[in-house]
Amino acid sequence: MPATVLIIANDKDVTAQLAESFNKKEFSVLTAHSGRQALAQAKTRMPDAIVLDSTAPRLSIKRLVRALRSDSHAILILLAQNPNRVDGVTNAQLVLPKATTPKKLSQRVRAALENRPPRELRAGNLTLNMERRRITRGSRSHKLTPKEFELLKLFMLCPGQLVTRRTLMKEIWRTDYLGDTRTLDVHMRWLREKIEDDPNKPRLLVTVRGEGYRLEVKEK
């Protein structure tokens, strides 16, 4: 199956040139000319890579990048006038000059895809598909929401270790405020419904009273 790339740019001529180059390299190409279109494509089509023209005048680049990183785990490539001075935009795997030729760009994207991290994360009998945000345990498989995915990924990266509520709120919700953590409790409940035999008596995502949670798994 060919890799899928999403091209986001206001300029339709630029989009067409890039799309033609990626098609020649046997990519499946998606295009978007607005932030709304981009987020819809990223969420429903789950591209392998996203190319974003950060010079596009009618796109809120900072907000769009944050939203894309929340909803998609595609490799993100920014095109910038000056790659050394990308104002406030982070979480991109590559930042390339806007003048990069379409041929060179498609080559860089191909190389980035070949060197990307493993597509699956495993802990005990849990398997997390990093691209499709799908958790599998035995014969059960569930699609995760973006927040559920980020939560479970964090636990699976450090099985058996305490993850405090403070850490979860800071890493997943980007806040240090602990006055109201009901949204965390709700998401933990949803996660347990997807991976536990009995969500009311969790044996995988266990509560460490007064501190946080721990993922208890038996390594194979």
pLDDT in tens, 72-122: 778 999 898 877 765 545 567 888 998 999 999 999 999 998 887 667 889
Provide the pLDDT for residue 131: 75
- Please give the pLDDT value at position 58: 66
Q: Look up the CATH number of domain 4-114.
A: 3.40.50.2300
- pLDDT-derived band at 61 (thresholds 50, 70, 90) equals confident
pTM value? 0.57
Position with higher pLDDT, 197 vs 220: 197
Strand partners, 140: 137
Across 63-67, 83-87, 155-159, 193-197, least confident range: 83-87
Confidence of residue 174 (pLDDT cuts 50, 70, 90): confident
* Chain segment 124-169, per-residue pLDDT in tens: 999 999 877 899 999 999 999 989 999 999 999 899 999 999 999 9
The amino acid present at 81, given as its one-letter code, is: Q
Q: Look up residue 92 and give its amino acid.
A: A
State residue 27 phi and psi, 5-degree precision.
-90, 155
pLDDT confidence tier of residue 66, bands split at 50, 70 and 90: confident
Q: What is the rounded CA–CA span in Å between residue 71 and residue 144?
A: 11
> Where do the domains of the chain lie?
4-114, 120-215
Give the residue with greater pLDDT, 196 vs 176.
196
Q: In angstroms, rounded to a whole number, what is the distance separating the alpha carbons of residues 136 and 75?
A: 23
Q: What is the pLDDT of residue 89?
A: 54
Q: What is the pLDDT of residue 72?
A: 73
**How much is the pLDDT for 119?**
75
d(CA 32, CA 39): 9
Closest CA to 94 of 64, 128, 50: 50
- Higher pLDDT among residues 57 and 146, named by residue: 146
pLDDT score for 190: 98
> What pLDDT shows up at residue 91?
64
Q: So what CATH class is 120-215?
A: mainly alpha
Q: Tell me: pLDDT of 211 over 70.
A: yes
pLDDT at position 198: 97
Mean pLDDT calculated for residue range 24-38: 92
Query: 146-157 and 182-195 are packed helices; what angle lies between their axes, rounded to 10 degrees?
Result: 80
Query: Residue 48: exposed, middle, or buried by beta-carbon count in 10 A (0-12, 13-18, 19+)?
Result: buried
Is the pLDDT confidence value at 206 over 80? Answer: yes
